[in-house]
Each structure stands twice: as structure tokens, then as C-alpha cells.
């Protein structure tokens, strides 16, 4: 177990070695494993170490000054979303294997911010690469921060240790149920960008009535005056049909 106050740069190699043991990964299996890393673990030394162990990598580089320098080498910028563009440049150093290097610039508060990314995967487009990078675990955002704001984890406290432990376990259960609901019902809908807080506040709090027969949910009626009620009905039907 690694203490929570350790920086990612100090945790990567021990975490990878621990994962190899826990998953019983043989050296031959390494080439089928992709490590998705944010900037905290994206040093040259870490990437080279992972490549030497045979892994694939999709990582954000740690060096912000290098990102600005690489941006000057970009000859073509492709838009990937509103106020965000990606270009490709040659690798700034020898990583020991063939890689692709992408530079991203985005406009925030009328200021351009640059970052760069390294990938050993063979991908058909820059947009697909960014999608691969965004598919990393992101537990610090998805679970910890969102659970604090969306599920009230930080606001509620129990003086009794076992009471607090029980509350945390219930929060984990709620997190998993919301994640299941999101992926089965809200993806590809008007609610696709909703996090736990908005799902709880704006969707689950919509007034309505549930009808049961023989302990089975058979009908859900929502107040039609509520904004996006029809869209929510479609999502609920999709969710029920998936179970």
C-alpha cells in the first residue's frame, strides 16, 4: 500500500511491479497491456522504463516547457472539440521504441494552454488517440471528487468508526449503481455529460410515480412539464430493457 501523500512520480514503478505480481503477468503478456498515464507519471524515465518492460503506453508528458517548444513544430492543427486542437510532431528523444507524439492546445480564459502526449499504439487518427487517453481510470476525478460533491461523502460524518465505515461502503454502492445507470441509460443521450451530482440533483430528483405489480416495477410516470422529461423516459426504457 502506497501512502496517499506520495506523488505519482514516486508511485508508478512500485505500482506496476505490484500489478505484475497481483495479475501474474508474464513478460510475454506485457506487450498486450497498455498503461494510460496522466502528467504526474509522464516523465521520460518512466516511459522508457515501461517500454523496456515491454508495455504499451498512452501518456501525457510531464514537461510543460517541452509542450510549448513542441507546439512550435506543429505544421497542422486538427480540431478535436470546441476550443481544442491536436497536432503531431517527431519524438523529442529516443524512447527506445517507435512512438507517436501529439501536442494539444486548448483555449482557456482567452489563453492558450499546451500539453503533449506519447503513445506506442498504432491509431488511425489524432481524435482516436485523445479518446484512448481519456479512457484512463481517472479515479481521482470519477470516484473521489465526484463522490464528495455528488454523493455528499465529504459533508456527512459519523463519530463512530464503524458508522463512518458503513457510510463509506454505502457511498461506494451508490457510486457503482450510478455508474451502471449512466453507462446503460445516459450514454449517447442529452445527459451524456452529466456527473454524479447532476444525475442525483437533476435526474433522480424529478417528481414522478412508480407503479408495482407483484413487487415488480411495471410503470414510471413523470411530470410532463419537467424539462427533458421525454428524453428521460427514453433513457429509463433503455435502462430497464438492458436488465
Q: Which three cell numbers stand for residue 160?
A: 463512530
Report residues of the chain scoring pLDDT below 50: none
Q: Which of 84, 101, 134 is the last residue of a domain?
A: 134
Helices (H), the chain: 8-22, 27-30, 44-52, 64-71, 126-134, 139, 146-150, 161-181, 196-198, 229-241
Burial class of residue 7 in the structure, from the number of CB atoms within 10 Å of its CB (0-12 exposed, 13-18 middle, 19+ buried): exposed
The pTM of the full predicted model, rounded to 2 decimals, is 0.59
Per-residue pLDDT at 128: 83
Domain range enclosing 188: 139-241
Residue 3 is predicted with a pLDDT of 58
Q: Could you tell me if residue 3 is inside a domain?
A: no
> Are 100 and 166 found together in one domain?
no
Q: How much is the pLDDT for 119?
A: 92
Domain endpoint, select from 134, 169, 194: 134
CA distance 130 to 104: 9
106 and 143: one domain? Answer: no
- Per cent of the chain over pLDDT 90 is 34
What's the confidence (pLDDT) of residue 112? 93
Residue 110: predicted pLDDT: 87
Does 58 lie in the same domain as 92? yes
pLDDT at residue number 138? 53
Widest pairwise Cα distance in the chain: 67
pLDDT of residue 178: 87
Q: Are strands 100-108 and 111-119 parallel, antiparallel or unpaired?
A: antiparallel
Total structural domains within the chain: 2
Taking the C-alpha atoms of residue 150 and residue 171, their distance in angstroms, rounded to an integer, is: 10
Q: Are strands 111-119 and 208-213 parallel, antiparallel or unpaired?
A: unpaired
Instruction: Return the CATH number at 78.
Output: 3.90.350.10
Distance (Å, whole) CA 172 – CA 168: 6
Amino acid at each position: 500500500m502506497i501512502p496517499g501523500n506520495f506523488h505519482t512520480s514516486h508511485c508508478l514503478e512500485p505500482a506496476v511491479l505490484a500489478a505484475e505480481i497481483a495479475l501474474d503477468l508474464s513478460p510475454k503478456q506485457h506487450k498486450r497491456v497498455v498503461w494510460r498515464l496522466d502528467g504526474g507519471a509522464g516523465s521520460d524515465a518512466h516511459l522508457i522504463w515501461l517500454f523496456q518492460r515491454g508495455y504499451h503506453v498512452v501518456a501525457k508528458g510531464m514537461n510543460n516547457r517541452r509542450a510549448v517548444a513542441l507546439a512550435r513544430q506543429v505544421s497542422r492543427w486538427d480540431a478535436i472539440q470546441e476550443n481544442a486542437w491536436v497536432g503531431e510532431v517527431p519524438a523529442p528523444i529516443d524512447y527506445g521504441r517507435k512512438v507517436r507524439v501529439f501536442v494539444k492546445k486548448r483555449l482557456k480564459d482567452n489563453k492558450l494552454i499546451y500539453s503533449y502526449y506519447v503513445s506506442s499504439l498504432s491509431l488511425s487518427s489524432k481524435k482516436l488517440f485523445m479518446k484512448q487517453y481519456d479512457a484512463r481510470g481517472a479515479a481521482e476525478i470519477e470516484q473521489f471528487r465526484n463522490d464528495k460533491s455528488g454523493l455528499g461523502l465529504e459533508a456527512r460524518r459519523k463519530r463512530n468508526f464503524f458508522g463512518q465505515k458503513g457510510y463509506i461502503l454505502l457511498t461506494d454502492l451508490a457510486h457503482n449503481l450510478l455508474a451502471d445507470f449512466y453507462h446503460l441509460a445516459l450514454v449517447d443521450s442529452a445527459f451524456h455529460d452529466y456527473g454524479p451530482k447532476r444525475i442525483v440533483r437533476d435526474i433522480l430528483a424529478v417528481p414522478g410515480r412508480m407503479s408495482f405489480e407483484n413487487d415488480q416495477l411495471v410503470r414510471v410516470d413523470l411530470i410532463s412539464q419537467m424539462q427533458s422529461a421525454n428524453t428521460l423516459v427514453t433513457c429509463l426504457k433503455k435502462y430497464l430493457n438492458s436488465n
